[in-house]
């Protein structure tokens, strides 16, 4: 049995950075090429090149077959069926006409001038604009013919002030959307309320007090719930990591969270609308479907490629994705989210006698045991159901399974973000989302 796929792939990116009115980075890059991958004799062969004409593709297919044959020298393997069917279709996002580089520089200058005028006490203001466009045309030997595109834009705004002790204090706001920078509303009228809120939080953080280390009741803002879903539970539910020994391997059908928690890796739609990173067919040509990872607290399934689905005797989810033209598809997340509940954020805070409200995270990491640690860049004390003083930068850590099992309230709202990258041998554009959660977790102390 021989399976062959070819991918013609173009990746365009640009990034601009302005610090205190000075443009320090203004870059545009384009990466294009083709790849071929074949499965024969139980082994994969892969080849890629920076050209995508028909002759190059034929050469890559031959090279991929030779590479699979070379791998067979390690010993004979039984070739398993690769389930998943085929898909034919074109999905290209049609947004607003792209902004020129000059338009982007002008918008940065306008933002910087407005912030300098409105917030004269700032020590520094930094702005990053970036967008990227992936266009992939895929053909497979089992009949898939797919044209797909992924486009996303982002803006990072970082304010720096002087703390009460004279040390610098900074805080960042992230904005993101599907499409290019033309589709991201950067008008002053739209951004002013968010910038005012960012500045207000920064002023509170200047007088921040240290957190009390230890196990606490915490209310996670929706953006942190998305991070928890992605980092701490999403990766251990990727089938290649499961087969590699992730703790989730033997937990299907068991309770891993409160019955308030349902967690899904969404393929392309949510509540009738297209999600931020829509995947209708993955980079193996598999029709993409939602992967319901946790349903009412019970672990139900994993994200799969054709191969991992075959090895686990499950249906593929269309989760094999490659970032750049020279990358092989790996099992990757798409739009990972904890679904909304019924509580109100105000009531969740009011129900905490002594705890913390966590609003922003600086970074996060987790492993296949679901143990995680996130940097917390903005948080407040909760005393007697009321928000108190801001706290200094700290960390949130624990086992995602134990944390999600402790969830006793899930808010009815939902926040989405696609401003970051997921790292797993290669970067990947993903989105994450969630409601606010009230859980028990460990905070780092002074």
Full 3-state SS string of the chain: CEEEEEEEEEEEEEEEEEECCEEEEEEEEEEEEEEEEEEECCEEEEEEECCCCHHHHHHHHHHHHHHHHHHHHHCCCCCCCCCCCCCEEEECCCCCCCCCHHHHHHHHHHHHHHHHHHCCCCCEEEEEEEEEEEEEEEEECCCCEEEEEEEEEEEEEEEEEECCCCCEEEEEEEEEEECCHHHCCCCHHHHHHHHHHHHHHHHHHHCCECCCCEEEEEEECHHHHHHHHHHHHHHHHEHHHHHCCCHHHHCCCCECCCCCCCEEEECCEECCEECCCCCCECCCCCECCCEEEEECCEECCCECCHHHHHHHCCCCCCCEECCCCCCCCEECCCEEEECCCCECHHHHHHCCCEEEEEEEEEEEEECCCCEEEEEEEEEEEEECCEEEEEECCEEEEEEHHHHHHCCCEEECCCEEECCCEEEECEEEECEEEECCEEEEEEECCC
Statement to judge: residues 173 and 279 lie in one domain: no
Statement to judge: residues 177 and 67 lie in one domain: yes
Q: What is the pLDDT of residue 260?
A: 98
Q: What is the pLDDT of residue 80?
A: 86
Closest CA to 390 of 398, 402, 382: 382
Statement to judge: residues 263 and 198 lie in one domain: no
Which of 206, 222, 244 corresponds to the end of one domain?
Answer: 206
Statement to judge: residues 63 and 165 lie in one domain: yes
Statement to judge: residues 184 and 265 lie in one domain: no
> With the CA atoms of 38, 39, 40 and 44 taken in that order, what torsion angle do they form, in degrees rounded to the nearest 10?
90
Which of 141, 172, 206 corresponds to the end of one domain?
Answer: 206
Which of 206, 229, 249 corresponds to the end of one domain?
Answer: 206
Statement to judge: residues 254 and 277 lie in one domain: yes
Per-residue pLDDT tens listing for the chain (446 residues): 589 999 999 999 999 999 999 999 999 999 999 999 999 989 999 999 999 999 999 999 999 999 999 998 888 888 888 999 999 999 999 999 999 999 999 999 999 999 999 999 999 999 999 999 999 999 999 999 999 999 999 999 999 999 988 999 999 999 999 999 999 999 999 999 999 999 999 999 999 999 999 999 999 999 888 888 898 899 999 999 999 999 999 999 999 999 999 999 999 999 999 999 999 999 999 999 999 999 999 999 999 999 999 999 999 999 999 999 999 999 999 999 999 999 999 999 999 999 999 999 987 788 888 999 999 999 999 999 999 999 999 999 999 999 999 999 999 999 999 998 998 899 999 999 999 999 999 999 87
Statement to judge: residues 159 and 242 lie in one domain: no
Residue 43, domain CATH: 3.30.2290.10
Statement to judge: residues 176 and 273 lie in one domain: no
Statement to judge: residues 432 and 314 lie in one domain: yes
The count of domains in the chain is: 2
- CA-based angle 262:232:364, to the nearest 5? 130
Statement to judge: residues 286 and 312 lie in one domain: yes
Give the number of C-alpha atoms closer than 13 A to the C-alpha of residue 238, restricted to the C-beta side.
Answer: 23
Q: What is the pLDDT of residue 14?
A: 97
Statement to judge: residues 292 and 330 lie in one domain: yes
- For residue 356 the two structure tokens come to 């913390």
Q: What is the pLDDT of residue 1?
A: 56
Full residue range of the structural domain in which residue 254 is found: 214-443
Closest CA to 398 of 261, 223, 218: 218
Statement to judge: residues 157 and 241 lie in one domain: no
Q: What is the pLDDT of residue 367?
A: 84
């Amino acid at each position: 049995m021989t399976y062959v796929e070819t991918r013609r792939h173009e990746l365009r990116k640009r990034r601009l950075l302005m610090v205190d009115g000075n443009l320090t980075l203004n870059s545009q890059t384009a990466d294009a090429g083709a790849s071929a991958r074949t499965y024969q004799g139980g082994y994969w062969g892969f080849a890629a090149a920076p050209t995508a004409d028909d002759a190059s593709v034929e050469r890559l297919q031959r090279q991929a077959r030779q590479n699979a044959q070379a791998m067979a020298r390690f010993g004979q393997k039984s070739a398993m069926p690769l389930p998943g069917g085929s898909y034919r279709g074109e999905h290209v996002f049609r947004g607003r006409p792209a902004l020129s580089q000059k338009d982007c520089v002008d918008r940065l200058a306008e933002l910087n001038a407005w912030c300098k005028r409105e917030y004269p006490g700032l020590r520094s203001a930094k702005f990053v604009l970036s967008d990227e466009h992936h266009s992939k045309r895929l053909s497979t030997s089992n009949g898939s013919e797919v044209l797909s595109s992924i486009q996303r834009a982002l803006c990072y705004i970082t304010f720096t002030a002087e703390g009460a002790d004279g040390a610098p204090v900074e805080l960042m706001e992230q904005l993101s959307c599907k499409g290019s920078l033309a589709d991201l509303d950067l008008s002053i009228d739209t951004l002013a309320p968010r910038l005012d809120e960012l500045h207000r939080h920064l002023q509170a953080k200047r007088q921040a007090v240290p957190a009390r280390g230890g196990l606490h009741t915490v209310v996670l803002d929706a953006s942190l719930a998305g991070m928890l879903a992605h980092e701490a539970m999403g990766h251990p539910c990727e089938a290649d990591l499961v087969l590699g020994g992730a703790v989730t391997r033997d937990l299907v059908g068991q309770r891993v969270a409160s019955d308030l928690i349902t967690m899904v890796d969404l393929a392309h739609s949510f509540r009738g609308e297209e999600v931020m990173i829509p995947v209708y067919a993955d980079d193996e040509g598999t029709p993409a479907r939602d992967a319901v990872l946790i349903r009412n607290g019970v672990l139900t399934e994993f994200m799969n490629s054709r191969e991992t689905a075959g090895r686990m005797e499950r249906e593929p989810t269309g989760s094999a994705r490659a970032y750049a033209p020279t990358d092989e598809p790996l099992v990757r997340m798409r739009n990972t989210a904890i679904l909304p509940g019924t509580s109100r954020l105000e009531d969740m805070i009011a129900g905490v006698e002594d705890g913390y409200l966590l609003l922003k995270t600086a970074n996060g990491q987790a492993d296949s045991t679901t143990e995680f640690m996130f940097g917390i860049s903005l948080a407040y004390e909760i005393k007697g159901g009321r928000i108190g003083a801001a706290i200094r930068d700290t960390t949130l850590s624990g086992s995602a399974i134990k944390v999600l099992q402790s969830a006793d309230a899930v808010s009815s709202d939902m926040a989405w973000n696609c401003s970051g990258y997921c790292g797993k041998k290669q970067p990947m554009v993903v989105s994450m989302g969630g409601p606010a959660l009230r859980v028990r977790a460990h905070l780092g102390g002074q």
